Amino acid sequence: MAAIIEIKGLTKRFKKVVAVKDLTLQVEEGAIYGFVGPNGAGKTTTMHILTTLLAPTAGEAWVAGYSVTRQPRDVRRMIGYMPDFFGVYDDMKVWEYLDFFAACYDIPEADRPALIRDLLELVDLTHRADDMVDSLSRGMKQRLCLARTLAHDPQVLILDEPASGLDPRARVEIRQLLVELANMGKTVFFSTHILADVAEICTQVGIIEAGELVMEGGLEEMQRKLVPHREIIITLLGDIEQAQQVLLSATGIEAVDELKPENGRSKLHVSLLGDDQAVSGLLATLVNAGVPVMHFTEETRDLESVFMRATKGIVS
């Protein structure tokens, strides 16, 4: 699938501070791309460059084939940008807020009422259309802000920390909305430091630290990149000592620990250095040695473990 966002060698300096350093990444069309990193990692700076709000010091970026430096007006037509702050709109009703932004995008006045109804229905705010924006909860304001990024039907959504500061229910609602938008054909590129939001919905993940991309790909792909270290749980029908002896004599074994038995069956936790073939070979070794293996499973490595192993805990 073609890349709809492409960044090559992007660098941004603020005097002596390098906020983004030689960043290169691609986002496929229709993807939900999670741009993950701690505060100060360079996420917002990268997004400001992609949305033409900030000029890079070096490098280039393209959105839907348009250069962010040479064709900024074309880029703006293709994107819907949601910043990490809502702004001040105390004296506007919800529908007036959307009408205002629709006018900014040159949507004809006659077309706006139907558009506003569709947007409010999409973000489940139809019942608050006549309420003042300032009366909305933070989660509702986030959904409203997302609605206004869609007013001109952009192909790409660039969202800066869309779930930041929300309660668990509101975060789930935002995640569900992002999935729905992707199902509508939108490409979603969003930054976050909340790993659970990424693991639930993303098709691609990029981890940035101190302005540099330290890892990129699908979650399973990134897990494979960290493969030397594997964690395996083995359930046995027979004597645990035989299994321990066989395991400790096998190649690549770091540790063998006995776990609490379940339903009268012994369990072992094995740390192994090796690739997929080594994991398969370990099972074969146990079976060939006559060890009665009932279950042999590898523990799933979640995004948190990937993040911790990929980063060093530094900021730019």
- For 115-154, the pLDDT digits (tens) are 999 999 999 999 999 999 999 998 999 999 999 999 999 9
| Mean of pLDDT over the chain | 89
CA distance 143 to 138: 9
Return the pLDDT at 215. 84
Give the mean model confidence (pLDDT) for residues 108-116.
96
Q: How confident is the model at residue 89 (pLDDT cuts 50, 70, 90)?
A: confident
- Give the pair of three-digit tokens for residue 91: 């004296």
Structural domains for the chain: 3-223 (3.40.50.300), 227-300 (3.30.70.260)
CA distance 89 to 97: 8
Return the pLDDT at 313. 57
Q: How confident is the model at residue 264 (pLDDT cuts 50, 70, 90)?
A: confident
pTM of the shown model: 0.75
Give the mean model confidence (pLDDT) for residues 102-126.
95
Q: Decide: helix, strand or coil at residue 57.
A: coil
Neighbours of 73 (CB within 10 A): 8
What pLDDT digit, counting tens, does each position of 176-192 carry?
Answer: 999 999 999 999 999 98
Closest CA to 90 of 134, 136, 144, 139: 134
Q: How confident is the model at residue 223 (pLDDT cuts 50, 70, 90)?
A: low
Strands 58-63 and 32-36: unpaired
- Give the pair of three-digit tokens for residue 137: 């909860």
- Residue 17 scores a pLDDT above 70: yes
Chain centroid to CA 167: how far? Answer: 18
- Residue 226 scores a pLDDT above 70: no
CA distance 138 to 154: 24
- Residue 268 scores a pLDDT above 80: yes
Strands 156-160 and 79-82: parallel
Q: Beta strands of 37-174 (E only): which ranges?
A: 58-63, 66-67, 79-82, 156-160
Residue owning tokens 């229905």: 121
268 sits in which H/E element:
strand 265-273
